[in-house]
Structure formats: structure tokens, C-alpha cells
Structure 1
């Protein structure tokens, strides 16, 4: 089965949970976040940049600098994180069919429509979960969605 190679969402959620559990208002360095997420600190900063622009995290520069949440963990939904990082990008890996091919145009339009439906469903499902849920050890997703 094919799988996505874009790990930004998973890394973002991972580091947000770390920031949510940082004690005494401690800021967490990019290096510490990167080590925990098994990613480079450059990649972690690339993921956190758009979240900073969206007001979900903030950074402090300097010798004792790092990252911290800019909102309460219970107020940050995974839908927000998804939309910040995914935006209007397709969820499905759509290809560019030959524009002169009638079948290609039809399939491309159909898949684009299906993609919008899937993107909406993903965002809606993620809206049921917060960073706080994951920080507290969220139960199985199916159980949470059944009670929603």
C-alpha cells in the first residue's frame, strides 16, 4: 500500500504534544524537539514556522530560546494543525492528465471533486481531537468519534 511521504502533520502534532507537556512554562529547543521527533532541527523549524504564523506556537530567540505553545492545548484542534500545514493542497496524489484526452479531463475533474470531499472529511474528523487529548493519552479514535 502506498503511503504519504509528507510527515509535516505527524511531526507537528508530536512537537505540539511535547510543548503541551513542558513543565513550568519551559521553552523547548528545536534540537530537543527534533531529537524526539527523529527529524532534523531545520525540518522541525520548517514545520513550526507556519504554526507560529497561525498563532499556535511562539518562539523565543537567544541562548535560552526555544518554542512554546501560544494557546491552551485544549483549544488547539488537530484540524487547525492540518489546515495550517495542508491548506488547499490535494490529499490524493493527483496527476496531470493530457488536457486533450477526454477521459483524462473527466477523471481529473472527478478525482478533484473526490479529493475535496476527502479533505473535508479528514479535517472534520481531526476537529474532534485536541493537542490536550493526545497529551493525556487519547483513547482509540473510533471510541472518541462514536461519542461525538
Structure 2
């Protein structure tokens, strides 16, 4: 099972747009962001669409088309980005009900649900404490 990079790519896109706007540009294109993230512009457009629905970015059409922040980086947390691109629980239980006649099949979901809920609560608290301004600051401070 591979790790999901949607949060990472979405945070990359938001931080990139924020820095680009600080450099005096009104909008960024999905192609520009995709080059930085080394991915396909379609991937970026899909993620930006989800971020737009969450009110974190906005799109502009016509001449000068592209993407801009809808809020300041200081007011966007990693939790905001996560919730925009990763709806639903962090961990899923079985797709079908396990054998309720088996001691493990009967008890596994309640046991794991409590553990997973605690992990998710901690993750959400950590993500809520980090703004995209914090992320950009870390990026810019990193040695090259």
C-alpha cells in the first residue's frame, strides 16, 4: 500500500501561489505549479478545484487566467488543506462486515475504531496548529 501525497501536493501548491503572489504576480497557472511539484498540471488543477470549493484559492478566467489565494497564508492551516483534499476518515475499517462468529471478526472493528479515532484527533490537532505561512517560512529557511 502506497502513501497518499495529496495533502503534500496541495500544500505545495498553496505555498507556491502565496510566494508567487508576494513576488508581485496576480495569478499562477497550474502549469507553473506543476513544474515546481514535478507532476502533471491535471493533478494540480484537480487539487486546486478542491481547494477552491473549500474557499482557500480562487480561479480567474479569461486574459490573465490562473489561480490566486482566497485567504492569507496566515489564515490557512494544514488542517484546512487536508480537509479540502482528504475528506473522510484517515483510516478505513473493513469494506464488508467481518465474520461476527469469529472472536477477531467480532471485536476488531470496535478495537481499531477507538485507536483510529485517537490518532485522527491528534493528527487534526497538529495540522490545525500549522499555517501555510509557517510552512512557507520553513521552506524559505531551508539550506539550499
Range into which the TM-score falls when normalised by the shorter chain = 0.7 to 0.9
CA 1:104–1:63: 2 relative to 1, 3 Å: farther
Give the aligned partner of residue 105 of structure 1: 106
Q: Does 1:45 align with 2:45?
A: yes
Mapping for residues 2-21 of structure 1, pairs under 5 Å: 3-4=2-3, 6-21=4-19
Q: RMSD between aligned alpha carbons?
A: 2.0
Tell me which residue corresponds to 2:117: 116
Matched residue SS, 1:137: helix
Any gaps of 5 or more consecutive residues in structure 1?
A: 140-148
Structure 2 regions of 5+ residues with no counterpart? none
Spell out structure 1 runs of 4+ moving beyond 6 A: none
TM-score of the superposed pair, with normalisation by structure 1: 0.81
Shift of 1:25: 4.2
Paired residues, number: 136
1:126 paired to 2:127: yes
Deviation at 1:3, TM superposition (A): 4.8
8 A contact 1:83–1:123 mirrored in 2: no
For residue 92 of structure 1, report the CA deviation from its aligned partner. Answer: 3.0
> Aligned partners of 2:34 and 2:28: how far apart in 1?
10
Q: TM-score, normalised by structure 2?
A: 0.83
In the alignment, the residues of structure 1 paired with residue 34 and residue 125 of structure 2 have an alpha-carbon distance, to the nearest angstrom, of 29
Q: Deviations over 1:32-67 (max 9, x none)?
A: 111111111111111111210111000112242111
